Structure 1
Amino acid sequence: MSFYDDVHNYYEKLVTEEVIRQQLHQMYDSNLLADLCCTALNQLPPRYIRSDVDMAFYLSINEAEQMQNRAAAAIEVARSLISQRGTDAEYRQTPR
C-alpha cells in the first residue's frame, strides 16, 4: 500500500457520516455535496490517522462526541455559506 492509501483525515469519515445521517446526499447533487464537504472540512482541524479502528480505540467517548458535534456544526455553517454564496461553479461565474 502507498502512503495515500494508509493515511487519511478522520474528519472526512465524520463529515460523510453526518451527510448521510442528515440525508443531504438525497437533497443535493454531487457537485454541491463536494462543495459542502470541502467547506465543512476546511473549518475543522486535521486529524490524520492510519486506521479508523485505531482512532476508535484511542478516542475517549467525550472526545468522539466532540468531534461528531464539530463535524455537524461545520456542515451547518457550510450549508449556510453555500446558500448565501451559491455553489462553487456559480461563485466562479460571478463577476468581481
Structure 2
Amino acid sequence: MKLHDDIHNYYEKLVLDEVIKQKISESLDVDTLADFCCTVLNQLPPRYIRFEVDLAFYLPQSERIEMEEQVRVAIEESIKLISMRGDN
C-alpha cells in the first residue's frame, strides 16, 4: 500500500544534502550508499511532510539547526559503524 507520492520524511532531504556536502557518495557504490542512508535515517526521528515549503515556512530556525546537527551526528555514527565492520 502506498499512501501518497508527496508524503516523505524530511530527514531524507537533510541526510542527502549532508551526504553530498561531505562527499560520502563519491566513496560508496550505489547499493552501499543506500544501506548507509538507511543506517543514518534509522537513528533519526521521522518528520513526515507533504510539501517542503510548508516545513520551511513553519519550522523555527533553531529547530532546523538542531535537525541538521542530529543528521551530522547520525552520519558520524554510521561512518564509525561501517569502519568497525570493515576492521573485522
Is 2:70 aligned against 1:76?
no
CA distance in 2, matches of 1:9, 1:76: 20
Match of 1:50 in 2: 50
Q: Which moved more, 1:25-34 or 1:2-11?
A: 2-11
- The two structures, once aligned, show a CA RMSD in angstroms of 1.2
Structure number with greater Rg is 1
CA distance in 2, matches of 1:82, 1:33: 11
% identity of equivalent residues: 55
Match of 2:63 in 1: 63
Match of 1:4 in 2: 4
CA distance in 1, matches of 2:67, 2:73: 10
The one-letter code of the counterpart of 2:17 is E
Match of 2:16 in 1: 16
SS at the partner of 1:28? Answer: coil
Could you tell me the TM-score, scaled by structure 1's length? Answer: 0.83
Structure 1 residue 4: deviation in Å?
Answer: 2.8
Match of 1:40 in 2: 40
Give the ranges of 4+ consecutive aligned residues of structure 1 lying more than 6 Å apart after TM superposition: none
Could you tell me the TM-score, scaled by structure 2's length? Answer: 0.90
SS at the partner of 1:6? Answer: coil
The one-letter code of the counterpart of 2:41 is L
The one-letter code of the counterpart of 1:8 is H
